[in-house]
Amino acid sequence: MKKIISLSLLLLCGPMFAQTVLNTEHTSLVVDNDGNRPLGIIFFGPRLGADDAAGLAAAGYGPVKAYSAYCDEGESSCAISITQADGNRTLDLCVVGTEVSEWEGGKLLTVTSRDRHYPVTVRNFFKSYGKEDVFETWAEISNDAVARKKASSEIVVNRYMSGTLPIRVGNVWTVTQYGSWGNEGTLLTEPLARGIRMVKNIDGVRNGHTSRAEAMISLDGKPQENSGRVIGAALEWGGNYVLEFNCFNSNYATFQAGVCPDNSEYHLAAGETLKTPALAYSFSDEGLSGVSRNFHRWGRKYRLAHGNVERKVLLNSWEGVYFDINEPAMDGMMSDIASMGGELFVMDDGWFGGKYARITDDRGLGDWFVDRKKLPNGIGWLVKRADAHGIRFGIWIEPEMTNTMSELYEAHPDWVLHAANREPVTGRGGTQLVLDLGNPAVQDFVFSVVDNLMTENPDIDYIKWDANMNVREYGSNRLKHQSHLEMAYWNGLYATLDRIRTKYPDLTIQACASGGGRANWGVLPWFDEFWVSDNTDALQRIYMQWGSSYFFPAMAMASHISAVPNHQTHRAVPLKFRCDVAMSARLGMEIQPSRMSEADRDFCRKVIADYKRIRPVVQFGDIYRLVSPYDDLGIASLMYVAENKSDAVFYWYRINSLYGSRYPRVKMQGLDPDRMYTVEELNRIDDKPLSFEGKSFSGKFLMENGLEIAPVVHDVRSDLKSDYASRVLYLKAN
Ligand code: GLA
């Protein structure tokens, strides 16, 4: 329940109390809301005592504009820019009211600002999540004009960032992420340079491939995983965005994030309000991993669908059979995954279509009825077979898309995003198009795709929801203002997902977009997990999962054991290494088990059984990244520790194989220094156990020194020898 604990309103600009302090367990955000000036932020960092918060001004800490307007004096890049109804392009905001209310998890500060002359109101929100040390900020921009008959009262909002964070310059470094299909979440770590540095995404309906909507900002030089002051920020928005660092010759740089302003100006008629997506941010003095832990806890509790429910171990059919779906193959895969201890089977692409049966990727999207040639007994039979095997059934759909070769497109050619007087610009298969989710009829259709499947087969447990195309044509035949397309699409999709979630609250849904295109906190509230990448190569997955773990918890990262040579990189990575990597996130398989040897299936059976033992720690524990693959030390290492420190899982991967290389000994983190932990190696292939197998060590020793991983190559019979080595250690407090 919202409880208002302080309220102050001025009708006109003028002085009122100067600052509001929002505290979380370990951090403070101090907002300047003096009525003489625009909104500012005075402090964001470690939690302040009341006296120190009151003494900030005396300490020389002044406000930095938190929502600067075009053309505030000296702003290189404003947070908001408006064209007034009379063409005036300036906005002169000052704070007129402040309200602080309480909600179950923290506080909500609303600061209301008004233009000194024009009827424009901006509300900036700051929401604290007390236990998780996370804040969210967003804005609402209102045209308060009274509609007039003759003169226009419409304003145009040209730029509407979600929020701004001041960054005190010094030895500041940033970590952003870039990538491409098959290489998502690559880290770029660099000092904050003078000028404007921008991360921008205009992929439209998915935004996690070419760049990511999150950034880490280290205030203490090159960022460390487990020490130093770091701010992490994540824009909660699935569409186009910018992250912008502005660093000029002043004490403060600023970080801004919001909807990408390119061609996205928003027209507001009299009485209308535009709401921006939220920007979440968190401060930690425990390095990058500290920020990650805050985001993971916050995400699991407040954002991720079913963030408190263990994820099942699954087999997905894609790399096993691709489009070659048929009943015996599906039944065989279900039987195989069940026999290995898996809990769910997901039938991927290729099961649907009539006139344009989905035998390749250039046809059929939109025709969401079963292809009876492939599956004569329909989905119902498969669901029953899954039940007979003692597992659950899941299915792939791509409901926001169509192909020019589809019955849907033939019936509704006007349902796609398409710019007038242009040839359609197609995507995958040379025929794919994006449906116009701003259109209520399309929203109903997308809802019905899920609703029909679920009505006919209420026992479907899981949906893999794909989106294999970006927007290549910015055009909607419904919109008066084409620049509203992004907002219309995403608000339409969100509304549709709300309907689905209301009716099917227990369904597990994976966000897939040609791999990791929808790894974003603006999408995950409706989804349980995301497919990290179409690239299932274990070695490269170490890098991609490392980057993805900066903001997303392991339980949300789908990570599958696949075949060798790998279908994307053609690398042949031994099964143990593939399992050890997949086991560090939400474990699954992406392989045709019938092509595996009996020995390999046995190995996977054991892996799955052990994963179930460590699943609570991996999926709900705290992450400590220990040695980064990006540091070129020849290894990568991370661990998860249960919140009560009763157990932990430690991962060690050798990522180069140059003979004679020496690797650092890895200090563990997050354990209880005063408890003894017994070590058990999982997925062991070595003939002899490691020297520390079954032995106990204090948390203090493990964190101050660490175990000597030896041998660093597997001591194993010759047919299992390879140039890869990895270890998974399960630590249990005695
Ligand atoms: C995308 C997904 C894959 C698979 C295919 C099916 O590429 O990322 O996992 O589902 O589509 O066409």
281 lines ligand 1 (CB under 6 A): no
What is the average pLDDT across 574-587?
98
Top mutation candidate among 360, 463, 466, 531 for ligand 1, by most atoms within 8 Å of CB: 466
- Alpha-carbon span 384 to 506, nearest angstrom: 19
- Cα–ligand 1 centroid distance for 530 (angstroms): 12
- Cα–ligand 1 centroid distance for 655 (angstroms): 27
Letter for the amino acid at 437?
L
Letter for the amino acid at 730?
Y
What is the average pLDDT across 26-48?
94
DSSP letter assigned to residue 145: P
Q: Hey, is 80 helix, strand or coil? A: strand
Contacts of 723 (CB under 8 A, 6+ apart): 657
396 lines ligand 1 (CB under 6 A): yes
Residue 125 pLDDT > 70: yes
Sign of CA dihedral 338, 341, 344, 350: negative
Give the closest residue (by CA) to ligand 1 atom 11. 514
Residues 403 and 409: beta-carbon distance below 8 Å: yes
User: Tens digit of pLDDT for each residue in 427-446?
Assistant: 999 999 999 999 999 999 99
- Cα–ligand 1 centroid distance for 514 (angstroms): 5
530 lines ligand 1 (CB under 6 A): no
319 lines ligand 1 (CB under 6 A): no
User: Tens digit of pLDDT for each residue in 244-256?
Assistant: 999 988 999 999 9
Residue 296 pLDDT > 90: yes
Residue 140 pLDDT > 60: yes
624 lines ligand 1 (CB under 6 A): no
Top mutation candidate among 180, 318, 462, 532 for ligand 1, by most atoms within 8 Å of CB: 318
466 lines ligand 1 (CB under 6 A): yes
The reported pLDDT for the residue numbered 89 is 93
pTM here is 0.97
Give the closest residue (by CA) to ligand 1 atom 8. 514
Residue 71 pLDDT > 80: no
318 lines ligand 1 (CB under 6 A): yes
531 lines ligand 1 (CB under 6 A): yes
- Alpha-carbon span 560 to 538, nearest angstrom: 9
The reported pLDDT for the residue numbered 12 is 59
- Cα–ligand 1 centroid distance for 387 (angstroms): 25
Task: Give the pair of three-digit tokens for residue 262.
Answer: 């390119």
- Cα–ligand 1 centroid distance for 518 (angstroms): 13
Among residues 466, 528, 580, 622, the one annotated as catalytic is 466
Top mutation candidate among 180, 317, 323, 514 for ligand 1, by most atoms within 8 Å of CB: 514
Question: What's the pLDDT band for 448 if we cut at 50, 70, 90?
Answer: very high
The reported pLDDT for the residue numbered 62 is 93
Q: Which spans in 572-623 are helix H?
A: 575-582, 598-620
Question: Which of 8-12, 74-78, 717-721 is predicted most confidently?
Answer: 717-721
- Cα–ligand 1 centroid distance for 578 (angstroms): 20
Number of other residues whose CB lies within 10 A of the CB of residue 60: 7
Contacts of 356 (CB under 8 A, 6+ apart): 363, 364, 367, 403, 405, 406, 407
Q: Which atom of ligand 1 is nearest to the CA of 512?
A: 8
The reported pLDDT for the residue numbered 152 is 84
Give the closest residue (by CA) to ligand 1 atom 12. 349
Tell me, yes or no, if 466 is annotated catalytic.
yes
- Alpha-carbon span 684 to 686, nearest angstrom: 6
Give the closest residue (by CA) to ligand 1 atom 2. 514
Give the closest residue (by CA) to ligand 1 atom 9. 534
The reported pLDDT for the residue numbered 127 is 98
Residue 72 pLDDT > 90: no
- Cα–ligand 1 centroid distance for 385 (angstroms): 24
The secondary element (H helix, E strand) that includes residue 443 is helix 440-456
Residues 437 and 404: beta-carbon distance below 8 Å: no
- Cα–ligand 1 centroid distance for 466 (angstroms): 7
34 lines ligand 1 (CB under 6 A): no
593 lines ligand 1 (CB under 6 A): no
Residue 302 pLDDT > 90: yes
What is the average pLDDT across 403-416?
98
Q: Hey, is 331 helix, strand or coil? A: helix
Residue 554 pLDDT > 80: yes
161 lines ligand 1 (CB under 6 A): no
The reported pLDDT for the residue numbered 3 is 75
Transcribe 678-714 into DSSP letters.
EEEEES--SSS--TTTT-EEEHHHHHHT------SS-
Instruction: Give the chain's mean pLDDT.
Output: 96
DSSP letter assigned to residue 667: P
Give the closest residue (by CA) to ligand 1 atom 6. 349
286 lines ligand 1 (CB under 6 A): no
What is the average pLDDT across 360-382?
98
Q: Which atom of ligand 1 is nearest to the CA of 464?
A: 10
The reported pLDDT for the residue numbered 171 is 97
- Cα–ligand 1 centroid distance for 349 (angstroms): 7
The reported pLDDT for the residue numbered 196 is 93
Question: What's the pLDDT band for 719 if we cut at 50, 70, 90?
Answer: confident
The reported pLDDT for the residue numbered 15 is 54
515 lines ligand 1 (CB under 6 A): yes
User: Tens digit of pLDDT for each residue in 515-532?
Assistant: 999 999 999 999 999 999
Among residues 348, 362, 461, 534, the one annotated as catalytic is 534
- Cα–ligand 1 centroid distance for 653 (angstroms): 28
Residue 42 pLDDT > 90: yes
Q: Which atom of ligand 1 is nearest to the CA of 514?
A: 8
What is the average pLDDT across 704-719?
94
Residue 73 pLDDT > 70: no
User: Tens digit of pLDDT for each residue in 168-207?
Assistant: 999 999 999 999 999 999 999 999 999 999 999 999 999 9
- The residues that bridge with 157 in the sheet, in sequence order, are 82, 266
Task: Give the pair of three-digit tokens for residue 68.
Answer: 């600067």
What is the average pLDDT across 51-77?
87
Burial 667-681 (b: 16+ CB within 10 A, else e): bbbbbbeebbbbbbb
- Cα–ligand 1 centroid distance for 467 (angstroms): 9
- Is the preceding peptide bond at 71 cis, omega within 30 degrees of 0? yes
Sign of CA dihedral 149, 150, 151, 152: positive
- Alpha-carbon span 573 to 254, nearest angstrom: 44
- Alpha-carbon span 202 to 209, nearest angstrom: 11
- The residues that bridge with 114 in the sheet, in sequence order, are 94, 121
Q: Hey, is 73 helix, strand or coil? A: coil
Radius of gyration of the chain (CA): 27
